Every structure is written in C-alpha cells, then in structure tokens.
Structure 1
Amino acid sequence: MKILIDTHTLLWFLSNDVKLSEKAKKIIENSKNDVFVSIASFWEISIKLSLSKLVLDIPFELLFVESENLGIQILQIKKEHLIYLTKLPFFHKDPFDRIIICQGIIEDTAIISIDEKFDEYKVERIW
C-alpha cells in the first residue's frame, strides 16, 4: 500500500506520541507499505519552528535523516501536484494540507491524518 503521512503524523510517529493512533502506527511500521512524507511537511515544520510555534527534541535537519532511516521516503512537489492544486475545491484552507491532498490524489496514496477535512476530497484518509 502507498501511504502519505500528514505533518502531525510524522511528528507524532517520530516522537512515539500517544496521540498517533495504533492503526496509523502499524501501517507506517509495516515494511510492505511504501510510506511517504511530503517535502511540504518539512517546510511547514520549518515555518512553525521559526515562529516559535513548535519545539523539537532533535535538530530540524535530523528530521530528514530520522525519516529516511525509518524507511519514510520524501515526496517532492511536482508540477502535476501544483496543476491539480489550481482545481482543488477550497474545503480546506491550510496551504500545506492542500498540497498534501493534491499529492495523495495524483500519486494515488492513502493519507494518514487525524484531519477530518481530508474526507471532503477524493482521497482515502486513514486514522
């Protein structure tokens, strides 16, 4: 199964936070699944860090290493994602979530997210 994880999902998984559902954790840990995180998630994290809205236990640059060491692949933003973004209805206003939704649709992945607004789009949300 191809999986794209939302920003909070990545942070909760890496920190072993109890807020991450057991179902989500098992899917991410299953080596049979192809797990991706959007580069947009790292962009979102960097902004929240610079605004002091987020504190990490590890240096930001180690998030990339930790993710890849756990088999989580970084999904770059492609022109196809941006083209689809111009057609995406505005049910969700968050720009990072909107690009993640587009990536999920174009790359045909399920998305692991607690955010129920994702359900308004043509994407499978897992939680």
Structure 2
Amino acid sequence: MEYILDTHAFIWYAAGDKQLSTKARNLIDNLNNENQIFLSIVSIWEISIKLSIGKLEFKKPLKEVLDEQIELNNYQILDIKMEHTEKIIDLPFHHRDPFDRLLIGQSIIEKMPIISIDENFEKYQELSVVW
C-alpha cells in the first residue's frame, strides 16, 4: 500500500521520537516490504522554513538527514502537481495551514492515506488518515 507522510511524522520518525504511534512506525518501517512511503516536496519545503526560522533543529544538515532517510526507508519523493493545487480550492477550511492543505490535496488526488496525528485531518471526508 502507498502512504504519504505528514511533515511531523517524518520528523518524529527521523528523530526516533516516541510521539510517533506504533502503527505509524510499523508502516514506515515496512518490515514486510508491502508499503511504499512517499515524502512530499511540500514537507521538505516546510522543514526548510522551520529550520531557517529556528523552529526546528537537526543534528545534521537537512540534505544529510533526507539522503539518509530516503536511502534507509526507500522513500519516494512526491512532487507537486497542478491537480494537487487545484484540489485545495474545493477543500473546506478545517485547516488553514497551507502546507497541510496541500498535503491533504496530494493525499486525496493520489488516493493515498496520510500518516498523521493531526485531528483536523479527520474532518475531511475524502481523506484517509492513519495513526
């Protein structure tokens, strides 16, 4: 099955943070090789902004963290498509965060559940959320 990582899920997994649910960790660990995990360029953009304004810190440069995680977990990078941006036009405003809205649009258009703890995501009927 294919899944999209929400930004915090990627950060928590990369950091070994215990806030990541066991179910989410098991999906990402993909021990039985049944899952394909996608990391959106939207999340990389959001992480870059958080790093630049001091809201997030990694022990290594972002490129190293990304390269390491992509190699270890066989993540696929999900680019932004026109359909993703068009989808957010129709989304109700349960969520105002532009990064999350685009991730929601990607998840719906690509028909991939999103791995996220964000309770606001549950309000979107078309969206499948796993935590």
Q: TM-score, normalised by structure 1?
A: 0.96
User: Which amino acid counterpart does residue 95 of structure 1 have in structure 2?
Assistant: P
Q: Distance in 1 between matches of 2:74 and 2:13?
A: 12
CA distance in 2, matches of 1:64, 1:76: 15
Identity %: 46
1:18-65: CA deviations, max 9, x gaps? 111111000111121011011010100111111111111210112321
What SS does structure 2 have at the residue aligned with 1:55?
A: coil
1:113 alignment counterpart: 116
Aligned residue in 2 for 1:124: 128
Partner residue in 2 for 1:22: 22
User: Across the two proteins, how many residue pairs are aligned to each other?
Assistant: 127
Matched to 1:64, the amino acid is L
Q: Distance in 2 between matches of 1:16 and 1:49?
A: 18
Matched position secondary structure for 2:90: coil
| Unaligned 5+ runs, structure 1 | none
Matches within 5 A, 1:51-66: 51-66=53-68
User: Residue 67 of structure 1 contacts residue 73 of structure 1 at CA under 8 Å; is this kept in 2?
Assistant: no
Letter in 2 for 1:22: T
Structure 2: how far apart are the matches of 1:68 and 1:82?
25
| Conservation of the 8 A alpha-carbon contact between 1:3 and 1:33 | yes
Displacement after TM superposition at 1:88 (Å): 1.2
Which residue of the partner structure matches residue 39 of structure 1?
41
2:97 is equivalent to residue 94 of structure 1: yes
Amino acid at match of 2:119: E
Off by >2 Å, runs of 4+ in structure 1: none
Q: How high is the TM-score relative to the length of structure 2?
A: 0.93
Question: Which amino acid is the alignment partner of residue 110 of structure 1?
Answer: P
Give, as a single letter, the amino acid of the residue that structure 2 aligns with 1:60: L
